Structure formats: structure tokens, C-alpha cells
Amino acid sequence: MSQTSGRDGREASETNDNLSPAPITAMLSSRLMVLANLLKRGAILRYKRLAGLSSVEFGLVASLGRRPPMSVARLAEAVGQDKGQISRALAELVSRKLIAKSANPKDSREVLVSLTQAGLAAHDAIVEGAQERNRMLLAQLSHDELDTLLKQIERLTATAEAMLEAEKVSR
């Protein structure tokens, strides 16, 4: 019986099914989700430390960015959540004077949101933190490796989009 060293450094028997990864964990999609979740968790901690923002709040601030005011509906679409899901976060950001609300001059029934000066400062901290994290990731790859990786991600993304559309049709 051979021994292998696990991620935590402890030895595990290759024949012990309880310690072997389930086949799904070896799949590319699972590995990419683990990577994405690790990056997201690190980002959430960083943006909480840098700007005092929760994950939903930093998503809203990042989406608003240095753009013209946008409707709450458009913002909800940009972050992939419905208006109800973001309303509490918007209220909190307004109370902290990071976001300003105003009526749309073209349609007074529509509310527009934009970053205040304090919101712009939080946005800039997010961007700076994201750039630093990106530099740390890219430092692991040569120029050619990065180019290859980005091309492969584009191909995989296109395939994943097609798979999603096929699932939507199959409902």
C-alpha cells in the first residue's frame, strides 16, 4: 500500500476511499470554482479592510465606478442581482455618504445612483487593491504562459456560455 502526502501534509493511503477526492473535485470546472472562491474571499477581506465594504457593497461601488449616474435597475443588472437584493446595500451606502441618489431628469419616476467623493475614494481603493492582487497573480506566469492562459479562458468562456444557453433551452 503506497502513501501520499495530502494538502495538509498528512499522509493518506491511496486505497482509503474516505480520503480520496471525489471525481468531481478533479474536474476543471471544480478547480476553477475553488480558485475563483479563494480569490473572492481574499478580495472580500481586502476591501473590508481598505474601504469598510461588504462584498455586496464593494460590488456596487466597483460597478458604479467613475461612470455617469445609472438607474438602480441598470446597476442591479450590472451586478447580477435584482433590485430588492441590492436595496439594503444601497441604503447603507447612502447613509454612509458613499452613494448619492437623485431623480432621473428625463423620468422623475426613476432613481439614479452615483458615487460621492467618499464613494470615489472607496472605488479607487478597490481598484488599487485589485491591481495589486492582479500583479501578484501575474507574477507567477511568463508572458507566453499568460497569453496562452487568456486565450484558453476565452475559449472555455465561450463554451460555458453555449452550455448555459443550452441549459436554458432545456428547461
Confidence band, pLDDT 50/70/90 cuts, at residue 16: low
Is the pLDDT at 69 greater than 90? The verdict is yes
Domain map of the chain by residue range? 41-140, 142-171
Average pLDDT of span 13-35: 76
Residue range 41-140 forms a domain whose CATH class is: mainly alpha
List, for residues 110-125, the tens digit of each pLDDT value.
Answer: 889 999 999 999 999 8
How far lies 12's CA from each of 5, 31, 34, 104, 129, in Å? 6, 21, 22, 62, 38
Quote the pTM value: 0.69
Percentage above 70 pLDDT, the chain: 88
